[in-house]
Structure 1
Amino acid sequence: MAETPAPNAATRLAARIELTKLAHELDLGLDEVAFLADADPEALRRLRTDVAEQLFARHADRFARIAHLSSLVPVGIAARAAQHAVGPLVSARIAGSLPPAEAVRLARRLPADFLAEVTLTLDPARVSGIVGELDVALVTEIGRLLLERGEHVVLGRFVSVVPTSSALAVVEGADPGDLLKAALFADDRSVLPALVDGLDDDVLVAVVEHAHTTDAHVDALTLVTSLDHAARARVVGLVAGLPADRVAGFLAAVAEIDAWRELLPVLADLDDQALAALVNVPATTDPAVLDAVLRTGRELDLALPLLRVLHALDEEHLGALRSAPGLTDPAVRTWLEQHDDDGGRLAAVLQGS
């Protein structure tokens, strides 16, 4: 019986992220759910979602009754009751049962530090209509309190329901490590391109530098692969301009998690100098890595980006390319020749393979 292949670094990271979110949902330490570390990330996500639903549904009727009672008293009294009698945990559950307009009026009467405590156990999906109506200044203050406390899981959960302007205000001046962690825990990464678009180049470079110094290249690359083409091309272009060891670490992570499907399409957007800096690194002296690049390009029919990579390789890397098994495939060779406008160099490579 064939052994199940070991999960790669990207899968292990996804499982760690989901496990951390699950531990937060259950108010447990990460070590208490460590027995699930080898579970499929998607299965962990479904389990977390089911747990959140059941925790709310268990007392949903009671929360709805309390929410109704709170609407019968002046908002100032309801705010004092929330702080001094109900507390942040139950207030979070009640918030999901309040009409949005009522919840917004109540939130505006509560201090930011109390709302930050409430946010720790809020389900973003149940309060999205509330968050969107809150003042930007209040949302920013709450977010910064959470950032100061290292509540990256909470921030990640809310990134999809907080307006982009508010999210950018929260992270303005934040530590690059905090930015990376909060983004990793984002439940909906489709919002990340808009956030990246609002960050200056020096901020993005600082995040890449942090990933390098903390050996978190896979973490950073996981986020890069979640971006749209334009945002991904921008980040990759910035990486190409960094010192050689930073570029080498990034490409090593690409090879480790086989992220060529995400990287190869954006390489066509780089100028020749940036492309050469990016592809002539230690990781791409391995014929197996270059073979993965070849096969990905052929699979996705990305002849032009692939040919630009091949033409950017220096002599050492061309030697490795000649040993790539994919070059022995007649279909691959013919496909490359059909699309190559600079056939002299490619022909020399193919003849020597």
Structure 2
Amino acid sequence: MTTHHHSTAELAKLARVLDRPRATDLDFLAELPPSALRQLRDQVTDLIAVREARRMQRIGAAAKLVPAPLAAKITEAAFGPVLAAAIAGSVDPARAVAIASSLSPRFLADATVTLDPRRATALIAEVPDRMAAATARELIDRGDYLTMGRLAGSVPDRVLRAALPHAADIDLLHVGFYLEETGAADRLLAVVADRVPGMVRATAAADHWAEAITLLDLLGPAERSHLGNVVADQDDDVLDGFLTAVTALDAWDTLLPAAAGMEHTALQRLSQRPTLHDPAVLTTIADLALTQDLWLDLLPLTEHLTPTQLHPIATRLAAEPAETRTTLIEQAHAAGATTTLRRITDLLPG
């Protein structure tokens, strides 16, 4: 499930680079893995940059010859935002910021749409908080979460802190959906840690669980478990909505690694919900754990399940070859889960 939604985000980014108004024009690429789509996007961006490099260098050199306010007027009137973004990496960062200071937030937002953060790292690091906040406000007002997500991984934490207060909780979720990598997702949630419960409630209210689960899949182990704890701490209807979505989207392979590091009280809350009393769901969870190397991630959750809930898991374990069962039992012993394991093995037939 999450692979599909990561691919959807990557297709939207690729469509932006190719100047295709509709990402659906690229649906023929939808079966490619997200990593391949990102590699293609980077290659296209690099080809465009190489083709235009000499022209950008000449224009960048010319920008040094006139006062910054005049250069800003020329930029808005003659170059436009797309060319301005292309030139940004060819101008001294301090000079670029001086010019940008005289540009309107609307123009800056237009320029960031096509800005390649890989070629503007030094410039992005120099952006004043005030400018970042104004540009982010413009992008959020437009609903351009793709641009926000693409840039969020490249800006310093101080810029994120300046840029995100204007965003509503649901806006933060949409930005997270378009983040580029695990490090960016972890940083975003760390910066807005106090708003994560609000993000979860906003997600439930808008029924945007698919985006939230895609973001969950981007997180590293610690942040993934922390988000799991936050979700488990919500009202029953929010938690039930989340578990229903995980089941419908076939995303238990995303949740199980989170469960491995969750607090005992959070796992207990999960175990009590109706979804985890459904034998079909429990069989699916067991099958994923046994076929996708998530066995040790499953065991902390099984500690809180009743014998009735454990029965489908034991039945699925019994279907494994004897040699495989022996290996899984040894793994559980080595992980210190002997007591939990015994509760499952006691239910094995025979």
Question: What is the TM-score normalised by the length of structure 1?
Answer: 0.84
Partners of 1:159 and 1:188 within 8 A in 2: no
Equivalent of 1:238, from 230, 236, 256?
Answer: 230
Partners of 2:289 and 2:295 within 8 A in 1: no
Q: Distance in 1 between matches of 2:258 and 2:23?
A: 40
Within the alignment, does 1:295 sit opposite 2:290 as a pair? yes
Partners of 1:100 and 1:129 within 8 A in 2: yes
Partners of 2:169 and 2:198 within 8 A in 1: yes
Alignment root-mean-square deviation, CA: 2.8
- Alpha-carbon offset, residue 274 of structure 1: 2.0
Find the counterpart in structure 2 of residue 192 from structure 1: 185
Find the counterpart in structure 2 of residue 168 from structure 1: 161
Q: Distance in 2 between matches of 1:326 and 1:175?
A: 49
Q: Distance in 2 between matches of 1:31 and 1:199?
A: 30
Write out aligned runs for 1:9-48 (5 A): 9-30=1-22, 33-40=25-32, 41-48=34-41
Q: Which moved more, 1:150-159 or 1:39-48?
A: 39-48
Q: Distance in 2 between matches of 1:59 and 1:147?
A: 30
Q: Distance in 1 between matches of 2:250 and 2:150?
A: 25
Write out aligned runs for 1:104-143 (5 A): 104-143=97-136
Question: What is the TM-score normalised by the length of structure 2?
Answer: 0.85
Q: Distance in 1 between matches of 2:111 and 2:210?
A: 33
Q: Distance in 1 between matches of 2:29 and 2:98?
A: 42
- Alpha-carbon offset, residue 265 of structure 1: 5.9
CA gap 1:290/1:43 in 2 versus in 1, 3 angstroms: closer
- Alpha-carbon offset, residue 52 of structure 1: 1.7
Partners of 1:280 and 1:314 within 8 A in 2: no
CA gap 1:348/1:76 in 2 versus in 1, 3 angstroms: same
Within the alignment, does 1:86 sit opposite 2:79 as a pair? yes
Partners of 1:16 and 1:37 within 8 A in 2: no
Q: Distance in 2 between matches of 1:279 and 1:146?
A: 41
- Alpha-carbon offset, residue 294 of structure 1: 4.3
Aligned pair count?
339
Secondary structure of the 1:121 match is coil
Partners of 2:259 and 2:267 within 8 A in 1: no
- Alpha-carbon offset, residue 325 of structure 1: 4.2
Q: Which deviations, in whole Å up to 9, do the C-alpha atoms of 1:152-209 show, x marking residues without a partner?
A: 11111111221112213322252232211111111233122122122244x2223223
Find the counterpart in structure 1 of residue 138 from structure 2: 145
Find the counterpart in structure 1 of residue 58 from structure 2: 65
Equivalent residue letter for 1:341: T
Q: Distance in 2 between matches of 1:265 and 1:11?
A: 17
Equivalent residue letter for 2:338: D
Q: Which moved more, 1:37-46 or 1:221-230?
A: 37-46
Q: Distance in 2 between matches of 1:132 and 1:236?
A: 32
- Alpha-carbon offset, residue 301 of structure 1: 6.6
Write out aligned runs for 1:318-329 (5 A): 318-326=310-318, 329=321
Find the counterpart in structure 1 of residue 212 from structure 2: 220
- Alpha-carbon offset, residue 282 of structure 1: 4.5
Partners of 2:216 and 2:227 within 8 A in 1: yes
